[in-house]
Amino acid sequence: MAGIGALSKSTGCHIETIRYYEKIGLLPPAHRSAGKHRIYTDIHRSHLIFIRQNRELGFPLEDIRELITLAADTSNLCGDALAVVKKHLAAIEVKVANLQGIRAQLLAMSGTCESTCLGSTVSTCNLVEGLFEPVAGARTGCC
């Protein structure tokens, strides 16, 4: 059993994050000492490690909640967890495609600048001018 500071240190999670996860029910409530201090167990530690590793993989909190729920009942099927992972993988694939499109646009813009206006002032820079114009296929509307 450990206090929140020791739990934070052993898992790499900030104290505020631990409290937040407990508040939203992602982490089981901590036991309380006679002085009302939170006392955490190895179960809390393993849950936090699980949450942190999945956050580093980009899983949203609701997917992590679902995985924790699935893991809590050993009769759940592995395929249920796989479905959560595949859903997240599909979202990552969309993000990768979007990032590749952004990369291509930036490469084209920087190439134009290098070949036509490098060394000129910003007032005649094609790169800066291009940033003030809508890009084909870009979303319309404000920010």
Say how many domains are in the chain: 2
CATH code for the domain in which residue 9 is found:
1.10.1660.10
134 and 69 both lie in a single domain: no
- Average pLDDT of the chain, as a whole number: 90
Question: What pLDDT is recorded for position 1?
Answer: 81
- List CB contacts of 73: < 8 A, sequence separation 6 or more: none
pLDDT of 83 higher than 60: yes
- At residue 61, the pLDDT reads 97
Residues 59 and 100 in one domain: no
Residue 23 confidence (pLDDT) above 80: yes
The answer to whether residue 66 scores a pLDDT higher than 90 is yes
Is 59 found in the same domain as 92? no
Say yes or no: 2 and 69 in one domain: yes
Q: Which two tokens stand for residue 81?
A: 């967890």
Decide which of 32 and 127 is more confident: 32
Q: What is the pLDDT of residue 127?
A: 80
* 17 lies in the same domain as 69: yes
Is residue 39 domain-shared with residue 89, that is, in the same domain? no
Give the contacts of 11 (CB within 8 A, at least 6 positions apart): 18, 45, 48, 49, 52
Based on the fold, state whether residues 2 and 61 are members of the same structural domain. yes
